[in-house]
Structure 1
């Protein structure tokens, strides 16, 4: 099917500021970082919009990092007793707005790891996700800083890496580079992350950020993710999972088409929820879409959840990406399997997935392979890391590569689950 794949590269592209600017933000994903002046008692960095101010302060005398939210009629100061105190003067202070979350960061050395020092849900005080708030959002001049920079927030880790494909399932290539989408991690779980588009030279650690995508829903801008981009009929087909406002009650898959060049710049997508057939039994949500056209029919792989978190792969078929979708089948014997990828191999079309550690014995930490009737026909031989890494494989040159991720966290203990992961590149030079 696919020759065995071995680990070739492990790396982690961390950047709090991705596209530099001071205003003109289209989504609530903004960061500002500064180098404190050691001769000044306090350093302040902040954002403002419509009479509201969101800021972070480093107090050099107390060696403490705090957050401040000022809204018409009042102000609040926030400090973490466990995480807010630094052991030595930081080389950098940062403030990041990631969806609803406002986080203060510090870094001990110029090339060291960012550590989250305080974290607050900003929407308890002001709705930061509305177009009106974003239209007025700007970065304030830092106080007590030697140097500083600001712009659209980037990421502290990457997960859910999906190759961008043509409608026939082949990798989309532009200017010699392959392209993929990734969930760019924030300081927390689903509602702190966003989607980025990256370009890559397969088999290498040459991975480059290119563009950012967000979604508008119910009058708010969200950082949805677990996205698949498909190029077909001279337009982009965009499928996303509605993780951006996840409240542990429901997740859906949305679909949109656009003529915009999603591989460059920043974009806010308007999409509609896909009506997908529900397998028998309990049902709370769907995510991880992967779309391919084979033999004149569109096939969509996704994850169908019985509860949070009890989930398994599903496969559907439709004449058009918008539907109507007919259920082909599900892997009912799985409870923690996701990351579906539909790929053409020498043995035919295969739906690859990732069996997490919470499955039954014999179905853990492996990459099962199903045919397009959802009959399990084998498995991909490849190194399996932590979390539930996706088997995003691609044939190129004389061999195969896979780009995936693991569960390595970042930023200290304060952010909690969702800051993963490292990027892993696996490779085989066998034909």
Structure 2
């Protein structure tokens, strides 16, 4: 897949104008250890792996499979499975083996008198998205399509966006979106509302006057069209989590559309084979009466209080009217399974928007690096900042601004890391195409020697097995002509 060379500033400017219990025993660690390098500037990075994670259904999060479920006749009938996700991020895939006459296929979410479905009609040669409320059905969008059986058919829900895809190869390796719609769906139903989603379940079936022969049907939590914003899961003192030779990290799972369609997940990276990247947890967040896919955050395990600190950015309902950092604490094992966590706004010493939190306890004092953004319209302006609290206080108490780099306005991806026994704040400057390095007073010391790709890749440095690695991402889009901006990027791993 080719790189588009997209600059986030330009894209967002245009869009804005358009209006554990037992966690200590459960989780393995690796010693931080002082490195032999004196400074970050002794590290020289190069790319060792680059690939694209892509799954319409996250492999570990399949909830329904007709191969193991009771067989049901799908001919001309909509089958509701009674199975649903806990958040509006789900997929139904259908093997279509034969369509005779004007037969069709349908999939999505349905209940007694409500449904959100995608359909293919062989008779008219169209795909459509339809919403049913109170027994009344509205077709909100259509597009021409000619699909010849056998083929794969899929409907994905990301927040309130519904996307219909087809795989002409029928192998599951050639998914391409045919149409997508969010605004017209949201005008009729809000799938983020648990009361609404709770009345629907995965559904599929045949349609029309002809005969539809369907094969295997699978449904479950949506995976990703790409990944971005990697942040290593760590202890309060900065040590990364490594268990059974696998490094734990969080990443934003790109959805089929803009930032609201993305969500957050926990992944493991096999240190013996970096191509083995596996999603092990899916995290959603409850606020303001809805469930959202807030993302771009960090997980910190506080050994002293035996709790996870969960930090994330409020991109899940972004509408060009501000972003802020939210937080929660939990004793649940958020490194596996599906979780919906209630969150609150994190009190920060700033009066403007914020995102990309990075939290570490240094010499008894919590330090939080983050992005300050005084404007998102008519264009985005953002720069790195650092706050710190009193020694002995909790991470929510008494944070004061230490400093910020006001000389830059396209810089994000803040990371706190210790290198050679010293602590640094790292960031990513999209204008200069480089990774600035700051001390704990936010004085710029220099830049990392590392390749800088498209978008604004984050400098997530982590020391494992005696080597410095940098997992990051780029701006390569998926099916941008249909889905628009937001479906990026490739996973990139560098090593010094």
Contact 2:153/2:166 (<8 A) preserved: yes
Task: Report the counterpart of residue 15 of structure 1 in structure 2.
Answer: 55
1:326-364 residue CA offsets vs partner (Å, 9 max, x unmatched): 0001110111000000000016111111111xx3xxxx1
Q: Equivalent of 2:381, from 301, 304, 310?
A: 310
1:196-236 residue CA offsets vs partner (Å, 9 max, x unmatched): 10011247222111010000011100000001000013110
Bigger helix fraction: 2
Contact 1:80/1:117 (<8 A) preserved: no
Contact 1:195/1:223 (<8 A) preserved: yes
Contact 2:126/2:142 (<8 A) preserved: no
Contact 2:152/2:172 (<8 A) preserved: no
- CA positional deviation for 1:131: 1.6
Alignment of 1:15-414 (within 5 A): 15-18=55-58, 19-22=61-64, 23-40=83-100, 41-49=103-111, 51-72=113-134, 74-81=136-143, 84-86=144-146, 91-109=151-169, 110-121=171-182, 122-143=185-206, 144=212, 145-202=214-271, 204-232=274-302, 233=304, 234-278=306-350, 283=352, 285-308=353-376, 309-318=380-389, 319-346=393-420, 348-356=422-430, 359=431, 364-414=432-482
- CA positional deviation for 1:11: 0.8
Bigger-Rg structure (1/2): 2
Decide whether aligned partners of structure 1 residues 381 and 90 sit closer, same or farther in structure 2, where only a CA change above 3 A counts.
farther
CA separation in 2, counterparts of 1:399 and 1:74? 60
CA separation in 2, counterparts of 1:112 and 1:119? 20
1:75-116 residue CA offsets vs partner (Å, 9 max, x unmatched): 1114454xx435766721111111121111112222544222
1:47-98 residue CA offsets vs partner (Å, 9 max, x unmatched): 11352111111223444321111111521114454xx435766721111111
Structure 2 unmatched ranges of 5 or more: 1-38, 65-82, 207-211
TM-score (norm. length: structure 2): 0.81
Contact 1:185/1:419 (<8 A) preserved: yes
Paired residues, number: 416
**What RMSD, in angstroms, separates the aligned Cα atoms of the two structures?**
1.7
Q: Higher relative CO (CA 8 A, sep ≥ 6), structure 1 or 2?
A: 2
1:250-299 residue CA offsets vs partner (Å, 9 max, x unmatched): 111111110000011100111110111127xxx3x110001000011000
Contact 1:15/1:155 (<8 A) preserved: yes
1:168 partner SS: coil
CA separation in 2, counterparts of 1:238 and 1:336? 25
Contact 1:239/1:289 (<8 A) preserved: yes
TM-score (norm. length: structure 1): 0.92
CA separation in 2, counterparts of 1:194 and 1:155? 9
2:195 partner SS: helix
1:183-207 residue CA offsets vs partner (Å, 9 max, x unmatched): 1111111110110100112472221
CA separation in 1, counterparts of 2:400 and 2:428? 23
- CA positional deviation for 1:39: 3.4
Contact 1:63/1:89 (<8 A) preserved: no
- CA positional deviation for 1:35: 1.6
1:21-60 residue CA offsets vs partner (Å, 9 max, x unmatched): 2414210111101122233431211211352111111223
Decide whether aligned partners of structure 1 residues 225 and 86 sit closer, same or farther in structure 2, where only a CA change above 3 A counts.
farther
Decide whether aligned partners of structure 1 residues 27 and 377 sit closer, same or farther in structure 2, where only a CA change above 3 A counts.
same
Contact 1:304/1:311 (<8 A) preserved: yes
Contact 2:284/2:294 (<8 A) preserved: yes
CA separation in 1, counterparts of 2:388 and 2:265? 28
Is the deviation greater in 377-386 or in 85-94?
85-94
Contact 1:20/1:152 (<8 A) preserved: yes
Decide whether aligned partners of structure 1 residues 99 and 90 sit closer, same or farther in structure 2, where only a CA change above 3 A counts.
farther
CA separation in 2, counterparts of 1:86 and 1:293? 58
CA separation in 2, counterparts of 1:123 and 1:287? 26
Contact 1:95/1:104 (<8 A) preserved: yes
